[in-house]
Chain A
Amino acid sequence: MTPNRISPTALVLLLGLLSPMAAAQEASSAEGQENRPLAVLAGKVITCAGEPIVDGVVLVRGGKIEAVGPQTEVEIPEGYEVIDCGDKFLMPGLVEVHCHVGGSGDLNEMVYQTNPDLRVLDQVIPHNDALQVAVAGGVTTVCYIPGSGTNMGGFGAILKTGPGELEDVLVRFPGVLKIAQWGNPERRDGTLGSGRMGMNWIIRDQLEEGRAYVRAWDDYESGKSSERPEIDLRLEMFKPLFRREIPVLVHTQGYQGIQATLEMLHDAMDLRIVIGHGTFEGYLISDEVIRRNVPVIAGPRGFRFDPDDGQIHGIVAEYDRRGVEWLGVNTDSPVIPQEELSFQATMAVRYGWNEEEAIRGITIEPARALMIEDRVGSIEVGKDADLVICTGSIIDPRNYVTQVIIDGKVVYDIAKDRRRF
């Protein structure tokens, strides 16, 4: 991973020589306003990009991961602040695809049945109370999305959970489009378009309008057409969506719901999609999910009680058993408190998933689903330095997070802060 190799003794010497004074100088001179570069040492480094590293070290500089490897192989440059976590576990910050606690609570603005012009960006509250506790649960990135009160709730934003101004914490906007196809938005009160057929027609109709708009712009920008289309703010955010730069986070559940999602949003509309619930008997359609290589980031329900066999079935375990690999869990916070993302994985393992996959399912898999895997989700050189130090495997609820680093800054440390979770 890194070409630098030094002997263990040299490392010890280096560590011993490191004086706070020198470190401070380094920080102020080389990094300016930025934090000092860090060297984080841990008994086990779970990178989520290959095998875990025993007695590993992660170098952090400029908010990014500079190097990662065994302590015997990675040289810690002079001036790096060393955070020695002993035999604790170091892992990438957790990634949540389905969060409603990134700001003020009014998430279901039901202006129309589809609201592609709404955006949560207008109500983000960085590092709010809920997110502060989320940090203590190891969650460093959340996709903050509108609710499922209407068929299209608006566009969500991907945020870091740490402190800062909006621009500091914003990973991407538009993050995702929220579409709700099943359950909550259904009214079925006899009003036109309140059942599943009608809802899906309305979603399709809205997307067709958006697609035509984006095509017109694409044609203009590529020179195919010389006529400059009118700017329509209501449809403007469809551009990255139809250019497949951002996905749709779909509130879809059950066999029929997921089938409609795959057929309509994936096949017909050619969109990137994330199955944002996938619960109830949804796992029965696993074959179709696998064929399209679509991520299932399941939750907040973790199990289904099947009256046919009178048994509890783990949702994720059932997808896993049928061969779905792109899997993760979500909290749908505040349905499940945001800090309990890892506990959602705990329960998935309890019901038959696998612990290693479960760790991927709260880090790199949701990051890939959100199309932010170039920045977060694993410990790899060049990625954001979002690191979590835990007393052991984060999947075991007896263990807890002791330190959290976001973008290279220590944002939570139980040695200084009151323990929050």
Chain B
Amino acid sequence: MTQPRIAPLPLLATLAIAAAPPASWGQDRPLALKGATIETVGPAGRIETGVIVLRDGTIEAVGPVDQVEIPEDARVVDASGRTIMPGIVEPAYPYGGDVGSSSSGRRTVVINGRVIVLGGSSPTRSPSFTRVADGLDPFRTDFAPLLRSGLTLLNLIPADYGQAAVVRITPEDPEAMVVEEDGRLYVAVSNSTASLDVVRKGLEAANRPGGGNRSGAGSGSGSGRSGRGPSSSSSNSGASGSARELWKAVAEGKVPLIADAANAAAILYLLEALEEAKDVRLALIASGPDVCRTLDRLADRPKLTLLLRPAIDTEPDNRNLVNVPRLVHEEGIEFAFVQGSDRFGLLSTQDSPLFHVAYLVATGLPREKALAALTARPAELIGQGDALGSLEEGKSASLLVFDGDPLDPYSRLRTVIIAGRTVYETE
């Protein structure tokens, strides 16, 4: 617990704080972190004594100390005893903005001492398509605390149905936050017609030959008598043309569909709805117990990635502990970790956020799978795999520096670097 303290990173510390106003340090001079253990989560795997060179926000070189030439102009920081890994990528972070909530807005009511927040959606009402980017406020400050958990990139998802947007957490530089405005298609699915119809009709519309906004012009003017005809179909398949395009891309397997299943029944319904759509790459958010229940069905689904909470779960209907990611891995199903809004899986208060992940690894989940599920897998899912998720030459310099093995509960997260800038640091 105490031994890593011999090598703090005084240089990083001073630079991050002192050089904040002007474009920060990586800009003109490269930085070389030398002597650290590097979990690349890439083809290079784990490098025991490595060096990583960062320049202009990207990784210039990474490899064992004896194989990488450190540029002459680089500042060299002794990082021995540290472990460096890619920043954690969150594939589905609920964006709690005003987007998507009902017109009446959210309000709080206290009934019999119970605080209830009204104005949310209900699985029985048809959700409307919303685009996170349309309501995004980069000046929001509440992302900053996520850095303590090592989260560097968030895929912000709408309330029930719509298009996600990707942001990186750079509180000092809000303008640079938005990475991708036109993100993945997201839909919350429950065992209700209203929510299932979003998927069914979305796919149906995508598969319909031709294109254009058929309902808007055609049947709307045709019937004329009442708004009954067109309204239902258009609202369900997505009011905007972008929804249709997204469904088309999903149906063709170009992009994954991120779906959140409310319960195990919803998983079955969703699989049923996608039965014929073999090309759809499904990224399914599901609870551990619900996954346990449907594991055999999920194993049969091609092109599936499960988004799991990085924590030990209980079995359905009892409190026996179960390592669901391990079960999923053993079934041969791909998975990534998702924190969701409660960030239950990460322990940010201790500066050792990966405690629960370490527990999963200690109870049988392969270490490299766990690290990939935090970084490379979610980065690929949200379309950022080329730039992020692993420490490779040419990729973005977004990384975490721990003062020991990240999966050792005694280790602490010391530094978070995003695009070459130190955005978080602790003593």
Chain A directly contacts chain B within the complex, with at least one CB pair under 8 Å: yes
Question: A194 to nearest B CB, angstroms?
Answer: 16
Q: Is B67 an interface position by the 8 A CB rule?
A: no
What range describes how many residues of A lie at the interface?
A: under 10
Q: How many angstroms from the CA of A309 to the CA of B318 in the assembled complex?
A: 5
Complex alpha-carbon distance, A309 and B320, angstroms? 7
One digit per residue, 1 when the CB lies within 8 angstroms of any chain B CB and 0 when it does not, for chain A 299-327 equals 00000000111110000000000000000
Interface 0/1 of B307-344, CB less than 8 Å to A: 00000000001111000000000000000000000000
Cα(A308)–Cα(B317), bound, Å: 8
Q: Which A residues lie within 8 Å of B319 (CB)?
A: 307-309
- Roughly how many angstroms separate A102 CA and B158 CA in the complex, as a whole number? 63
Q: How many residues of B contact A (CB 8 A)?
A: 4
Residues of B within 8 A of A311 (CB): 318
Chain A residues touching B, majority SS:
loop
- Separation of A311 and B317 alpha carbons in the complex (Å): 9
Name the residue on A nearest B320 (C-beta): A309
If over half of B's interface residues share one DSSP class (helix, strand or loop), that class is named, otherwise mixed; here it is: loop
Closest to B318 in A: A310
**Distance (whole angstroms) from the CB of A188 to the closest CB of chain B:** 12
- Cα distance A311–B318 when bound, in Å? 8
Bound CA–CA A188/B115 (angstroms): 19
Residues of A within 8 A of B320 (CB): 309
- Measured CB to CB, the nearest residue on chain B to A307 is B319
CB contacts under 8 Å to A, within B191-232, are none
Set of chain A residues within 8 Å of B317, measured between Cβ atoms: 310
Q: How far is the CA of A309 from the CA of B319 in the complex (A)?
A: 6
Which residues of chain B have C-beta atoms less than 8 A from A309's C-beta?
318-320
Tell me, in angstroms, the Cα distance from A308 to B319 when the chains sit together: 5
Complex Cα gap A309–B316 (Å): 10
Question: Could you give, for residues 168-206 of chain B, a 1 whenever the CB lies within 8 Å of some chain A CB and a 0 otherwise?
Answer: 000000000000000000000000000000000000000
Which chain A residue lies CB-closest to B319? A308
Closest to B315 in A: A310
A307 partner residues in chain B, CB cutoff 8 A: 318-319
Cα of A308 to Cα of B315 in the assembled complex, Å: 10
- Of all chain B residues, the one with the shortest Cβ separation from A309 is B318
Task: Write out the residue numbers on chain A whose beta carbons fall within 8 Å of the beta carbon of B318.
Answer: 307-311
Report the Cα distance A310→B320, complex, angstroms.
10
Q: In the complex, how many angstroms separate the beta carbon of A51 from the nearest chain B beta carbon?
A: 42
- Cα A309 to Cα B317 with chains together (Å): 8
A284 to chain B, nearest CB (A): 16
CB distance from B74 to the nearest CB of A (A): 57
A311 to B315 Cα, complex, angstroms: 13
Closest to B316 in A: A310
Chain A min CB distance to B179 (Å): 43
Q: A307-B318, A310-B318 are in contact. List 8 more A-B contacts (CB 8 A).
A: A307-B319, A308-B318, A308-B319, A309-B318, A309-B319, A309-B320, A310-B317, A311-B318
- Report 10 cross-chain contacts, Cβ distance below 8 Å, ordered by A residue: A307-B318, A307-B319, A308-B318, A308-B319, A309-B318, A309-B319, A309-B320, A310-B317, A310-B318, A311-B318
In the A-B complex, the 8 residue pairs with the smallest Cβ-Cβ separation, listed nearest first, are: A310-B318, A310-B317, A308-B319, A309-B318, A307-B319, A308-B318, A307-B318, A309-B319
